């Protein structure tokens, strides 16, 4: 047994009410998204990490950079590193140091 009315007139009325309600809900969603975007735009940008790992196109670690270096690939090819991880990447893992920002000099691990 259906919980919907059996006749066409009431079904059409219900359909109209549902469409109007959906439009109101979508309007509220738009307003909430605009407010969230406004709030996010006012927040200060997060500072870059102190050290970054550049990944090659195969997603393998390739270079170490000082955070914010513009020579280290774009978003999906960068990973933040802690100081200890950057030291390990340069020393133990023997990854290349960026020749522009010179993280090896900043970390004190020049050969």
| 80 vs 51: CA distance, rounded Å | 6
Beta bridge partners, 61, equal 55
Residues β-bridged to residue 96: 63
Prediction pTM value: 0.59
pLDDT tens per residue across span 45-91: 888 899 999 998 888 999 999 998 988 777 778 999 999 999 999 98
pLDDT beyond 90 at 17 = yes
pLDDT at 109 (0 to 100): 79
How many C-alpha atoms does 55 have within 13 Å on its Cβ side?
12
Structure confidence at residue 46 (pLDDT):
85
> How many residues are present in the chain?
111
């Amino acid at each position: 047994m259906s919980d919907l009315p059996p006749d066409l007139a009431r079904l059409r009325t219900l359909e109209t009410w549902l469409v109007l309600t959906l439009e109101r809900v979508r309007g509220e969603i738009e307003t909430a998204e605009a407010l969230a975007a406004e709030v996010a735009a006012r927040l200060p940008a997060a500072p870059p990490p102190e050290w970054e790992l550049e990944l090659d196109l195969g997603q393998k670690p390739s270079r170490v950079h000082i955070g914010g270096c513009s020579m280290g690939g774009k978003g999906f090819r960068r990973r933040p590193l802690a100081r200890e991880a950057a030291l390990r990447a340069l020393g133990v893992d023997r990854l290349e140091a960026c020749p522009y920002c010179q993280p090896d000099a900043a970390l004190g691990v020049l050969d």
